[in-house]
Amino acid sequence: MMSATPAKFSSEKPIRLHLGGHDVKEGWTLLNAQPRPGVDVVGLVTDLSMFADGSVSEVYASHVYEHLGMRQELHTALKEVARVLKTGGILRVAVPDLEILMKIFADPQLPVEQHQYVQMMICGGQVDEYDFHKCGFTFDLLASCLQSHGFCNIKRVQSFDLFDDTSMKMFGGVCISLNMQCTKS
């Protein structure tokens, strides 16, 4: 495991970067703010300085960006991803789908314990300093943000079929994750 330093992460193969995840998968470099088994790089998504410009072919960020402040941190993180991704590289993003979650939360028939669960999906589990949500997204809001950072071919996808994570989180038979894929222009 390496710590985030200005030194460039080198790889002879194209780098596939998994931001903030827990699952280890062959062929993916796992970056997380917390040292834990399987983490290749301990660092923040707002500082990818250990990766050279255009050195990454794919980035996967599942339920990461909602943990960033919307005024600065989110934009810094997306600038960093745009910098390290090669032209035509793929960014896959999953965040809580606020449009769906708010509809569920507004249902007066929903039992209190289910309201509390949905509230946790909106605000974060709050089990440690990293597990608080600072911003939220609808398709249009996230698409606009991605486009403003140089991403194109932005689309919603049902599933990435990459990791067993919250990108497939269901509530009442409905996926509550907004899953989007785009490419670097």
pLDDT value for 3: 47
Give the Cα separation of 141 and 138 in Å (integer): 5
pTM: 0.91
pLDDT value for 10: 59
CATH of residue 172's domain is 3.40.50.150
Check if the beta carbon of residue 88 is closer than 8 Å to that of residue 153: no
pLDDT value for 47: 98
pLDDT value for 22: 87
Domain residues for the domain of 11 are 2-184
Phi, psi torsion values for 138, nearest 5 degrees = -110, 170
Give the list of residues 6+ apart from residue 117 with CB closer than 8 angstroms, or none. 171
Domains of the chain: total: 1
Task: Tell me which H or E stretch contains 82.
Answer: helix 73-84
Give the Cα separation of 119 and 127 in Å (integer): 14
Q: What is the mean pLDDT of each run of 10 residues along the chain (185 residues)?
A: 49 87 92 94 96 96 96 97 98 98 95 93 91 96 97 97 92 95 98
